[in-house]
Structure 1
Amino acid sequence: MQSTLLVTGAAGQIAYSLLFSIAKGDVFGKDQPIILVLLDIPPMMTVLDGVVMELQDCALPLLKEVIPTDKEEVAFKDLDVAILVGSMPRRDGMERKDLLKANVAIFKSQGAALDKYAKKTRLWERAVNIQVLVVGNPANTNCLIAAKSAPSIPKENFSCLTRLDHNRARSQVAMRCGVPASHVKNVIIWGNHSSTQYPDVHHCKVNMSGSELACFDAVKDDKWLTGEFISTVQQRGAAVIKARKLSSAMSAAKAICDHMRDIWSGTAEGEFISMGVYSTGNSYGVAEDLIYSFPVEIKNKTWKIVDGLTINKFSQEKMDATAAELIEERDTAVSYLAV
Structure 2
Amino acid sequence: MIARGAMLGPDQPVIIHMLDIEPAMEALRGLKMELLDAALPLVQGVFVSTNVVEACKGVDIAVMLGGFPRKEGMERRDVISKNVSIYRAQASALQQYAAPNCKVLVVANPANTNALILKEVSSLPAKNITSLTRLDQNRAQALISDRLDVPVTDVKNVIVWGNHSSTQYPDVNHATVNTANGHRPVRELIADDYWLNREFITTVQQRGAAIIKARKLSSALSAASAACDHIRDWVHGTPKGTWVSMGVCSDGSYGVPPGLIYSFPVTCHKGEWSIVQGLKIDEFSRKKMDASVEELTGEKALAYSYLDP
Question: What SS is found at the alignment partner of 1:212?
Answer: strand
The reply on whether 1:212 has 2:192 as its aligned counterpart is no
Looking at structure 1, the residues matched to 287 and 5 of structure 2 have their Cα atoms a distance apart, in angstroms, of 41
Question: What SS is found at the alignment partner of 1:324?
Answer: helix
Compute the displacement of 1:210 (Å): 4.3
- From 106, 123, 133, the counterpart of 1:162: 133
Question: Greater shift after overlay, 310-319 or 102-111?
Answer: 102-111
Q: How does 1:277-292 map to 2 (within 5 A)?
A: 277-281=248-252, 283-292=253-262
In the alignment, which residue of structure 1 is the partner of 2:149? Answer: 178
What CA deviation, in whole Å up to 9, does each residue of 1:283-334 have, x standing for no partner? 0000011100000000001000001000000000110010110000011011
Compute the displacement of 1:62 (Å): 1.1
The reply on whether 1:230 has 2:205 as its aligned counterpart is no
- From 87, 91, 102, the counterpart of 1:130: 102
- From 108, 111, 119, the counterpart of 1:147: 119
**Could you tell me which amino acid in structure 2 is paired with residue 34 of structure 1?**
V
Looking at structure 1, the residues matched to 221 and 9 of structure 2 have their Cα atoms a distance apart, in angstroms, of 20
Percent identity between matched residues is 52
What CA deviation, in whole Å up to 9, does each residue of 1:13-52 have, x standing for no partner? xxxxxxxx10121211222111111000000001111101
Compute the displacement of 1:280 (Å): 2.0
What CA deviation, in whole Å up to 9, does each residue of 1:113-171 have, x standing for no partner? 1112123xxxxxxx3x21100000000000011112221x2100110000000000101
In the alignment, which residue of structure 1 is the partner of 2:283? Answer: 313
Looking at structure 2, the residues matched to 82 and 189 of structure 1 have their Cα atoms a distance apart, in angstroms, of 23
What CA deviation, in whole Å up to 9, does each residue of 1:50-73 have, x standing for no partner? 101100110011111111000011
Q: How does 1:74-113 map to 2 (within 5 A)?
A: 74-113=54-93
Question: What SS is found at the alignment partner of 2:2?
Answer: helix
In the alignment, which residue of structure 1 is the partner of 2:226? Answer: 255
Question: Greater shift after overlay, 289-298 or 205-214?
Answer: 205-214
The reply on whether 1:45 has 2:25 as its aligned counterpart is yes
**Could you tell me which amino acid in structure 1 is paired with residue 106 of structure 2?**
V
**Is this contact kept in 2: 1:130–1:157, CA < 8 A?**
yes
**Could you tell me which amino acid in structure 1 is paired with residue 203 of structure 2?**
T
Q: For structure 1, which runs of at least 5 residues remain unmatched after alignment?
A: 1-20, 120-126
In the alignment, which residue of structure 2 is the partner of 1:191? Answer: 162
**Could you tell me which amino acid in structure 1 is paired with residue 133 of structure 2?**
T
In the alignment, which residue of structure 1 is the partner of 2:39? Answer: 59
**Is this contact kept in 2: 1:111–1:148, CA < 8 A?**
no
TM (norm. structure 1) is 0.90
Looking at structure 2, the residues matched to 204 and 310 of structure 1 have their Cα atoms a distance apart, in angstroms, of 12
Compute the displacement of 1:208 (Å): 2.9
Looking at structure 2, the residues matched to 51 and 196 of structure 1 have their Cα atoms a distance apart, in angstroms, of 36
Looking at structure 1, the residues matched to 102 and 231 of structure 2 have their Cα atoms a distance apart, in angstroms, of 12
**Could you tell me which amino acid in structure 2 is paired with residue 163 of structure 1?**
R
In the alignment, which residue of structure 2 is the partner of 1:296? Answer: 266
**Could you tell me which amino acid in structure 2 is paired with residue 149 of structure 1?**
V
Looking at structure 2, the residues matched to 26 and 100 of structure 1 have their Cα atoms a distance apart, in angstroms, of 32
**Could you tell me which amino acid in structure 1 is paired with residue 120 of structure 2?**
K
Query: Which contiguous aligned blocks of 4+ residues in structure 1 show a shift greater than 3 angstroms?
Result: none
Looking at structure 1, the residues matched to 227 and 102 of structure 2 have their Cα atoms a distance apart, in angstroms, of 16
TM (norm. structure 2) is 0.98
Looking at structure 2, the residues matched to 208 and 135 of structure 1 have their Cα atoms a distance apart, in angstroms, of 34
**Is this contact kept in 2: 1:108–1:337, CA < 8 A?**
no
Looking at structure 2, the residues matched to 115 and 334 of structure 1 have their Cα atoms a distance apart, in angstroms, of 20
